[in-house]
Amino acid sequence: MPRTVNASRQTRDLLSTFLKDPKAWRHGYELSKETGLKSGTLYPILMRLSDQGLLESRWRDAEEPGRPPRHIYRLTIRGAAFARRLASESDTQLVYDMTRRVKA
Amino acid sequence: MRISATALPGGRAAWGVAMQSELGHIKNDHEALRWACGCLRTSALESFRAGTLLDFRLVRWSIALWAMYRATDDLCNTCLVLSYKFPHLWLPPIFAHCVHGDDYQQLIPLFNATAGWEVAVCLLSGALYLLAIVSLLRRSCYAAAFFLPALALNFGLWLYELGKPLYAQLFSLGDFAQEALVYLTTALLSWILWRGARSPQPAHRQSNPRH
């Protein structure tokens, strides 16, 4: 049974990166550079999202000759909806925290 | 990268290929090395989550070696106490020589305070560790069933001995820390064995009557 997607900071960062352009395909190294996540953190998250059906993947031929094909990823429709919901919850929490600080 | 790709559980093989192919596009050697190390971490993590670490001979042999160390420790302690309490019994002379006239002299009060049931528990845990070794090397799923009770007996006995005033007199804080580290390591290895026993066996192993 796939593990439940958690809402860790790293997962949120990755999902928000995908949300910048939900229809674009991205490869692992590009995601690592954009999110600042190392491969040891990035790939377990990608695997989990894929298990949950929130991420789709495919192979693309390399642009440079002699290089291996690349595995590329993007959010599924369900994944994009989940990412947007998570992002709006984060914004709500952020506003709540700021309000509390102002009151304090 | 080949190691990390092959270390992944069966269902993750495609991800291993994906990580490996990505490496071919990283031009900077330093970054490529960091990428490869991260992929190795991913493989170890996924293997651990899937409970497949025991599929690797190195892991099984390492745990078996550790169990042998624990078994030897238990059985030697048993023989030391028995050779002191029953000198008329034929036991390997080395234990008798260890008791007479060198730094084992300081342990004599502890030998005197050791009850028969403690010796029996020590002997039993040593035997269980030996059975765990055999099960582990035969890739039987019962290795955890022997290893865990052995650890429990060992650890329980150690806690009981900690309560004796003699222990504080004979052993330093460093000795205590060393023992604690040994038990922590043994607990970690037993966790690996337990997870391995819980994970579903692959089809080729299910058909093997040994398992």
Convert the pLDDT of each residue in B71-127 to its tens digit. Answer: 999 988 888 888 877 776 666 555 555 555 556 667 777 788 888 899 999 999 999
DSSP A1-70: -PPPP---HHHHHHHHHHHHSTT--EEHHHHHHHH---HHHHHHHHHHHHHTTSEEEEEE--SSTTSPPE
Residue B19 and residue A28: Cβ atoms within 8 Å? yes
pLDDT at A95 over 70: no
Nearest residue to A32 via CA among A87, A70, A66: A70
pLDDT at B195: 80
Q: What percent of chain B has pLDDT over 70?
A: 78
- CB nearest A43 (choices: B15, B24, B37): B15
Chain A residues whose CB is inside 8 A of the B42 CB are 39-40, 43-44
pLDDT, mean over chain B: 80
The residue that leads in pLDDT, B207 or A56, is: A56
Residue A71 and residue B17: Cβ atoms within 8 Å? yes
3-state secondary structure B119-164: HHHHHHHHHHHHHHHHHHHCCCCCHHHHHHHHHHHHHHHHHHHHCC
Nearest residue to A9 via CA among A39, A35, A31, A40: A35
pLDDT at B29: 87
pLDDT at A94: 60
pLDDT at B176: 85
Judging by DSSP bridges, how do beta strands A55-60 and A26-27 pair with one another?
unpaired
The pLDDT confidence band at residue A5, using thresholds 50, 70 and 90, is: low
What is the nearest CA distance from A90 to chain B, expressed in angstroms? 28
The residue that leads in pLDDT, B162 or B134, is: B134
What is the nearest CA distance from A31 to chain B, expressed in angstroms? 12
pLDDT at B152 over 50: yes
Of A62-66, B38-42, B151-155, B204-208, the one with minimum mean pLDDT is: B204-208
From CA A17, how far away is CA A76, in angstroms rounded?
14
pLDDT at B191: 86
- Judged by a CB distance cut-off of 8 A, whether residue B10 touches chain A is no
The pLDDT confidence band at residue B203, using thresholds 50, 70 and 90, is: very low
Q: Phi-psi bin for B139: left (phi > 0), alpha (psi -120 to 50), beta?
A: left
pLDDT, mean over chain A: 84
pLDDT at B197 over 90: no
Widest distance between CA atoms in chain A: 61
The residue that leads in pLDDT, B107 or A34, is: A34
Residue B18 and residue A57: Cβ atoms within 8 Å? yes
Complex-level ipTM: 0.76
Widest distance between CA atoms in chain B: 74
In this prediction, residues A43-68 reach a mean pLDDT of 88
The pLDDT confidence band at residue B205, using thresholds 50, 70 and 90, is: very low
Domains of chain A: 9-103 (1.10.10.10)
pLDDT at A43: 92
The residue that leads in pLDDT, B56 or A93, is: B56
CA closest to A61 among chain B residues: B21
pLDDT at B185 over 80: yes
In this prediction, residues B143-161 reach a mean pLDDT of 91
What is the nearest CA distance from A53 to chain B, expressed in angstroms? 15
pLDDT at B207: 40
User: What are B22-48's pLDDT values in tens digits?
Assistant: 888 888 888 888 898 888 888 877 876
pLDDT at B211: 35
